[in-house]
Structure formats: structure tokens, C-alpha cells
Amino acid sequence: METAIFVIGPNRLQNELLATYIQEASGIGCQCCATIETPLILRLNKVLLLLDSLQDSLSALCNEPDVQSFLSLPNQMLAFFNASPDGNGERELLKHGVRGIFYKSDPPQRIAKGTQAILDGDLWFRRKIISEYLIEGILAGEQAPPGEAPAVPLTEREREILRRVASGQSNKAIARSLCISHHTVKTHLYRIFKKISVPNRFQAALWAAKHLAF
């Protein structure tokens, strides 16, 4: 599957430097674009967009038509950079399926590390934000009534992996703790997502928090 990274935003010099650093660190092609609407992006099978959020609120960016259209495509991932650590709307990003957020104070090394984690299937948010998102969903009444948990044929290993996803562990951390390969974890997660009918690990974590004993 062809994979590419695009840095989107108006500051071309900054973005070109960041794209060069990420490409050298990851070995994956990374280039700059002024907007999301490019034929090249739409032709690729797997794309991670890094969208500059310096001049706009996160919520406003998430509701842009081109962002919404991009998020609706399969195997397409979106993260924001240049975000303010004191800003609001991070939990809203989770609901939209955004994979991560980088702050104005993050050095290029951290952005490159987070970019690789997202491409590996992980999420790049502060753990506090993820926990609050899960708790909000449960308190809002999304939890299934007692005794009405869906009859999903998860194996014991799949349940263990799902619990670890809900606790915030990355794929690599799960692989290390269970003494299995990173590829095996990804295979398990693919099967789990299909069994419980969720599109991503955020929704899987919410499902686990509602239906699995910890």
C-alpha cells in the first residue's frame, strides 16, 4: 500500500523544513501543500495529513468541508500541528476521528515520533484527553444497560488486547507486554474492530470501557 505524508498550511518555509525532517526520520515521502484539495492526495491509498492549526480553532478546522470529506475516506489519517496547549476542542477531534495533535512547543523530533506512531495505528493525544473522552461517553448514557452487553465472540487474547487499548497503551507497548509481534497486535485489532463493529481504536476503547470488566 502506497503511503505518503503531507504537511498542509500557509507557512511554506516552516512546512518544508518540517516535511524534510519527517521524511528523513521516517523514510516515508513527505511534502507540502497549501490545501487538502490535490489530485495526488486523493490518488494515494494511505495518507497522513498534518494540518497547521496556528491561525484557526481546532473545532472550526474540523468542520471545514474539505476536512470532513477527507476524514470520510478509508485509510486516510489527519493530525493537527501548531496547536495551542491551552486551547479547547481536543475531545471534539476524537469524535471526528482525528488521529493526533501536536503543539506549538513540540520540537520536530516529537512530531516525527508521533507521526510514526500514528502511521503504526496509534493515537497521539494527551492521555488525560483520552480518559476524559471515554468517561464523558459513559456518563452521557452510551453504556449498555446491565445484562445487555452484546454477544461478541472475542477470544481471551482479543479481550486482553482490547483492555490494554482502553487503558491507553500503544500497539508497541501491547506487543512488548504480551511478548508478541507488532504485526500480530495489528492483526488482532483488525479482527476486533470487525467483531465489535467500530471504525477505530477510540471507538474500540469506548466499547471496552462499556462492556469489558477491568
* Strand boundaries in 18-134, DSSP class E: 30-33, 46-52, 76-83, 100-103
Cα–Cα distance measured from residue 73 to residue 6, given in angstroms and rounded to the nearest whole number:
16
CA atoms within 13 A on the CB side of 34: 0
CATH number of the 3-125 domain: 3.40.50.2300
Question: Locate cell 503504526: which residue?
Answer: 120
pLDDT at 50: 93
- Contacting residues for 54 by C-beta, under 8 A, at least 6 apart: 9, 11, 82, 104
pLDDT at 214: 55
CA-nearest of 153, 157, 197 to 174 is 157
* Strand boundaries in 93-167, DSSP class E: 100-103
CATH number of the 145-211 domain: 1.10.10.10
Q: Is 163 exposed, middle or buried (0-12, 13-18, 19+ CB in 10 A)?
A: middle
pLDDT at 136: 64
DSSP classification of residue 74: T
Task: Specify whether the CB–CB gap between 160 and 145 falls below 8 A.
Answer: no
* Strand boundaries in the chain, DSSP class E: 3-8, 30-33, 46-52, 76-83, 100-103
pTM as predicted? 0.67
Tell me the pLDDT of the chain (214 aa) as tens digits.
578 899 998 888 989 999 999 999 989 889 888 887 665 666 667 889 999 987 667 777 777 888 877 777 767 889 999 988 775 677 778 777 888 999 989 999 999 999 988 887 778 888 777 767 766 665 454 444 444 455 678 899 999 999 888 877 888 889 999 999 989 998 999 999 989 988 877 778 878 877 776 5
pLDDT at 80: 92
CA-nearest of 127, 208, 110 to 160 is 208
Cα–Cα distance measured from residue 106 to residue 104, given in angstroms and rounded to the nearest whole number:
6
Cα–Cα distance measured from residue 3 to residue 7, given in angstroms and rounded to the nearest whole number:
14
pLDDT at 144: 45
Domains 3-125 and 145-211 share a fold: no
**Domain ranges within the chain, ordered by starting residue:** 3-125, 145-211
CA-nearest of 96, 129, 113, 123 to 201 is 123
